[in-house]
Amino acid sequence: MTPTPPPFDTELDAVLRAMEAEGGTLSDLSAEGIAAARQMLDAAAPDDEQLSHQGYFEVEDRVVPGPEGAPGVSLLICRPVASGGPRPVIYHVHGGGMVIGNNRSGVDMVVDWARELDAVVVSVEYRLAPQHPHPAPIEDVYAGLVWTAGHAREIGGDPERIVIAGASAGGGLAAGLALLLRDRKGARPAGQLLMGPMLDDRNDTPSARQMQGLGIWDRTANESGWTALLGDRRGGPDVSPYAAPARAEDLSGLPPAYLDVGSAETFRDEVVTYASRLWQAGEVAELHVWPGGFHGFEGFAPQTALARTAVAARLNWLRRLLAE
């Protein structure tokens, strides 16, 4: 018997129904569907003028060294034009189920925060599955962070105040990056902002089963995304925690974390479990479960009351973190 799902927020339910009527949910992860979604996202990406906030930011695309033997990594850099001391850096990892997206996907919200915080934004573009399975995406994200930490002052940033941030697949990669930096004894981020993160390839939580066939990213889409990244290793015993952070046995020694998730989405239970395990490891974590939220609701329905509350809570956490 299919378990009863929690209800969607009333405002969000109306938005979701309209999206479904227009075919706006990411359900087709065939090769043709992925190609079409990539093309759509590329066309919708914010341009330099939009990201500049009327000249507040200088916007630059830069290619930096990638992993050994791999192509360079493309970074989008938005830095305040006004002179000033070293600023915080938000290192952004885009979402897209591991299979779509680019370094401009979802970055407009992060740039809005950077305007409020007088911060630098660095958004990384990583190779996408299935053409580039694990470890290509996380190694690209790692290479981009290494460059950012080493060149922070060059771009007006403070290497001691780098926050790694990502939504959905980007949230999973940001969590994996925090683990990789700890284990390779690299730069220590000031914090990790994990927004509806994609953490567990096993795809077998109660929330994954409850939300089957519902919302933006259901259990079937999730299986397709993880399979694109991991192939036949998905769900098996030999999955790296840098690919699926829920697999990590040790969550100690990680930077302070902010995690949020909707109550009506596939990732709810894996995110709640990950936050609990951070606390059990003696780490600092703040968790928000937004009632009635579907996956990515703040991006798809930014005008709704719940979305405004969620976005404000993230900004408030960043402000408190960077004030310490």
Give the pLDDT score at 157.
97
Please report where in the chains the tokens 């609990």 appear, as a residue.
Answer: 276
Give the pLDDT score at 25.
62
Give the pLDDT score at 298.
97
Give the pLDDT score at 42.
85
In this prediction, residue 20 has a pLDDT band, given cuts at 50, 70 and 90, of confident
**For 287-307, how does the pLDDT look when each residue is reduced to its tens digit (9 = 90+)?**
999 999 999 999 999 999 999
For the chain, give the mean pLDDT. Answer: 95
Report the 3 state secondary structure along 126-155. CCCCCCCCCCHHHHHHHHHHHHHHHCCHHH
**What are the residues whose beta carbons fall under 8 Å from the beta carbon of 82, sequence distance 6 or more?**
56
Average pLDDT rounded to a whole number, residues 265-271: 98
Give the pLDDT score at 1.
66
**What are the residues whose beta carbons fall under 8 Å from the beta carbon of 244, sequence distance 6 or more?**
172, 176, 199, 200, 201, 202, 226, 230
What residue type is 186 in one-letter code?
A: G
Give the pLDDT score at 28.
67
**For 208-232, how does the pLDDT look when each residue is reduced to its tens digit (9 = 90+)?**
999 999 999 999 999 999 999 999 9
* 196 pLDDT higher than 90: yes
Structure tokens at 64: 């930096």
Give the pLDDT score at 43.
86
**Across-strand partners of 164?**
91, 192
* 27 pLDDT higher than 80: no
**For 150-185, how does the pLDDT look when each residue is reduced to its tens digit (9 = 90+)?**
999 999 999 999 999 999 999 999 999 999 999 999
In this prediction, residue 22 has a pLDDT band, given cuts at 50, 70 and 90, of confident
- pTM to 2 decimal places: 0.97
**For 28-82, how does the pLDDT look when each residue is reduced to its tens digit (9 = 90+)?**
677 788 988 898 888 889 999 999 999 999 999 999 999 999 999 999 999 999 9
**What are the residues whose beta carbons fall under 8 Å from the beta carbon of 146, sequence distance 6 or more?**
186, 187
In this prediction, residue 140 has a pLDDT band, given cuts at 50, 70 and 90, of very high
**What are the residues whose beta carbons fall under 8 Å from the beta carbon of 233, sequence distance 6 or more?**
239
